[in-house]
């Protein structure tokens, strides 16, 4: 089985970074902090893999009729 890597938007990585830092500094409960940091770290890793391994999609400038 081969892996197919989907291209993700840049906003996905931005949400992961901002969410990680906001969670690290604002959340005081340790269990919520650990859980959310783990979620945002996994999101960042997924965005990084998508950025480096996903195929490049070429957009057509004109629509064909």
What pLDDT is stored for residue 12 in this prediction? 94
Digit-by-digit pLDDT tens for the chain (65 residues) are: 777 787 888 899 999 999 999 999 999 999 999 999 999 999 999 999 888 876 776 776 665 55
According to the model, what pLDDT value does residue 61 have? 60
DSSP category for residue 62: S
| Residue 44 confidence (pLDDT) | 95
From 37, 31, 32, select the one nearest 19 (Cα to Cα).
37
Residue 27, token pair as written in the block: 């959340």
Is-above-0.75 flag for pTM?
Answer: yes
Smallest CA-to-CA distance from 49 within 22, 1, 18, 12 is with 12
In order, the DSSP letters of 2-52 are ---PPP--HHHHHHHHHHHHHHHHH---HHHHHHHHHHHHHHHHHHHHHHH
């Amino acid at each position: 089985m081969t892996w197919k890597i989907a291209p993700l938007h840049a906003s996905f990585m931005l949400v992961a970074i901002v969410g990680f830092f906001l969670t690290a500094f604002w959340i005081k409960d340790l269990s919520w902090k650990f859980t959310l940091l783990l979620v945002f770290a996994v999101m960042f890793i997924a965005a990084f893999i998508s950025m480096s391994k996903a195929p490049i999609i070429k957009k057509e400038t004109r629509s064909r009729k």
